[in-house]
Amino acid sequence: MDPHAPEDRPATRMPTMRDVAQRAGVSRQLVSLVLRGGPGPSLESRNRVLAAAAELGFRPNASARLLRQSRTRLIGMMFTALNSFEVRVAERLLERAADIGFGVALGPITDRRTTEIVIRELLEQRVEALACFNPDPGSPALRQALGLMPVVWLGERSAEPRADVVRTDDDAGLAILVDHLVALGHRDIAFAGGLGGTVGPDRAATYRAAMTSRGLADRIDQVLVGFGEEDGATAARVLMARVRLPTAVIGCSDHCGAGLVATFARAGISVPGTVSVTGYDDSDIATLSYNDLTAIRQDVDLTVDATLDGIQRRLSNPASSPREVATQATLSIRSSTARARTNA
C-alpha cells in the first residue's frame, strides 16, 4: 500500500476541453468555440463536439474561465441568513443577476463570520461589485472595496460618500401607515421598536414625525424594543400592563408585529377588535392567515432593481457619482387593522 496520503489523487477527474476534443477528434480550440456558441464551426463539428461533451459530462472549469477573462461578472452579496427580507433579496438578486449575465457570490454573516472576513472572501473571488446589508463601516476590506468597485449599501442610511445606498423610504412608508390608521379613526397609535442599527432609531423618529405632522404629538407612545418576534411579545406585555391599551400598535417589523398579535391573542385580546396591529416588511410572516398583518411592503423587486441598476451604472461609468435610492413603500392592507374601538 502507498503510505502517502491518497487524498491528492481524486478518484475520477472531471473532464476538460482537452478530453472532449480528443473524443470528438478535433482541436481543443474548436471545442471552446463551439461551447461558447461562437460563429465558425460547421454543423458537423458542432454536433460532434456537443455529443462528446454530453457523453463525458463536461462542465467548464469556472476558475479557469474567471482567471482568463478580465471580467468575472460576479457580484458579491453580504447578508444575514437569519433575516427573511435579506434572504429574499439575496435570492432574487441571484435570479435577476443571472438574467443579465452576472453570477452572485454569497457571503452570509454569522457570529464567527464578520463583515471583514466575508468581504475579504468576496474580494478574493474577484467580485466586480458588492451589495452589503448593514455592513460594519470600520472594516478595512470594506474600505478597500469602496475604492475599487461599486458598493451598494443596503438597508440603512450611510454616511459613506463612495457607496450607493438603497433603502426603503421609511418616511413615506410610516406616513401612509399612520394615515391609514387615522382614517380608521385611530388616534392612540403606539409604536413598538426603536432599537437596532441605524434603521431602528430611524423608523422611530419617522413615526414621531408622522404623528406630529398629523396633530397627534401628544399621543406619541413608543415602546423601545428591537425587530424580533420576542421584541414584539415584550412590547405587547408592556402595553397590556397599562391601565389603558392604545387602539393601534405599529410593529417595527413583521416579526415584531407577529409577536404583538400572538401575545395579544394568547391574552384574549382581540386583534383587530380591541387593538389594531401592523407589521413592516410584508414578508411571508405577514401573510399567514393567523397574522394577516397590514404591513408596509419593502419591495424586494424594487430593491434588487435599484441595486443592479446602481451596479451597472457605476460599472459602465466608474466616474459616476454614487446615489441614494429610497424605494417606494406601499401599504398592504389586511385584517389586522380595523376601525378603532369607540369606547377607548
Partner DNA sequence: CCTAGGGCTTAGCACGTGCCAATCGATTGT
Partner DNA sequence: ACAATCGATTGGCACGTGCTAAGCCCTAGG
With contacts defined by CB under 7 A, name the span among 54-62, 105-113, 273-281, 316-324 that binds DNA.
54-62
Residue 335 near which of DNA, a copy of itself, none (CB within 5-8 Å, type-dependent): none
In sequence order, what are the residues at sequence separation of 6 or more whose Cβ sits closer than 8 angstroms to the Cβ of residue 8?
none
Rounded to the nearest whole angstrom, what is the least distance from the CB of residue 212 to a copy of itself in the complex? 32
Interface size with a copy of itself, residues (CB under 8 A): 63
Rounded to the nearest whole angstrom, what is the least distance from the CB of residue 214 to a copy of itself in the complex? 31
Exposure string over 279-297, b if 16+ CB within 10 A, otherwise e? bbbbbebbeeeebbbbbbb
Q: Which of 40, 57, 138, 268 is in the footprint of DNA by CB under 7 A? A: 40
Amino acid at 294: T
Residue 281 φ/ψ region, left for φ over 0, alpha for ψ in the -120 to 50 degree band, beta for the rest: left
With contacts defined by CB under 8 A, name the span among 157-165, 209-217, 240-248, 280-288 that binds a copy of itself.
280-288
- DSSP labels, 237-269: HHHHTSSS--SEEEESSHHHHHHHHHHHHHTT-
Interface size with DNA, residues (CB under 7 A): 27
Q: Is 339 helix (H, G, I), strand (E, B) or coil?
A: coil
Rounded to the nearest whole angstrom, what is the least distance from the CB of residue 104 to DNA in the complex? 19
Cell reading at 254 = 413583521
Residues 215-244 that bind a copy of itself (CB under 8 A): 229-230, 233
Q: Which of 5, 7, 12, 36 is in the footprint of DNA by CB under 7 A? A: 36
- Could you tell me the CA-to-CA distances from 182 to 177, 213, 334, 339 in Å, in that order? 9, 12, 16, 9
Q: Which of 71, 213, 240, 301 is in the footprint of a copy of itself by CB under 8 A? A: 71
* Closer to DNA by Cβ: residue 10 or 138: 10
Alpha helices in the chain (DSSP H): 17-24, 28-36, 43-56, 62-68, 84-99, 115-124, 140-148, 170-183, 199-213, 229-240, 254-266, 284-287, 300-316
- Tell me: does residue 28 bind DNA (CB under 7 A): yes
Total number of residues shown for the chain: 344
Q: For residue 272, is the peptide bond before it cis, meaning its omega torsion is within 30 degrees of 0?
A: yes
- Tell me: does residue 45 bind DNA (CB under 7 A): yes
Residue 41 near which of DNA, a copy of itself, none (CB within 5-8 Å, type-dependent): DNA
Element (H or E) spanning 108, and its range? Answer: strand 103-109
Cell reading at 60 = 467548464
Residue 18 near which of DNA, a copy of itself, none (CB within 5-8 Å, type-dependent): DNA
Residues 13-42 that bind a copy of itself (CB under 8 A): 14
- Could you tell me the CA-to-CA distances from 158 to 149, 233, 253 in Å, in that order? 17, 30, 20
Q: Which of 47, 51, 55, 61 is in the footprint of DNA by CB under 7 A? A: 61
* Closer to DNA by Cβ: residue 66 or 176: 66
In sequence order, what are the residues at sequence separation of 6 or more whose Cβ sits closer than 8 angstroms to the Cβ of residue 10?
none
Q: Is 280 helix (H, G, I), strand (E, B) or coil?
A: strand
Residues 69-128 that bind DNA (CB under 7 A): 69
- Tell me: does residue 27 bind DNA (CB under 7 A): yes
Contacting residues toward DNA, per CB under 7 A = 13, 16-18, 26-30, 32-33, 35-36, 39-42, 44-45, 58, 60-61, 64-65, 67-69
Contacting residues toward a copy of itself, per CB under 8 A = 5-8, 10-12, 14, 57, 59-64, 66-67, 70-72, 81-82, 87, 90-91, 94-95, 106, 108, 110, 112-113, 120, 123-126, 128, 144, 147-149, 229-230, 233, 259, 261-263, 265-266, 268, 271, 284-285, 288-291, 315-318
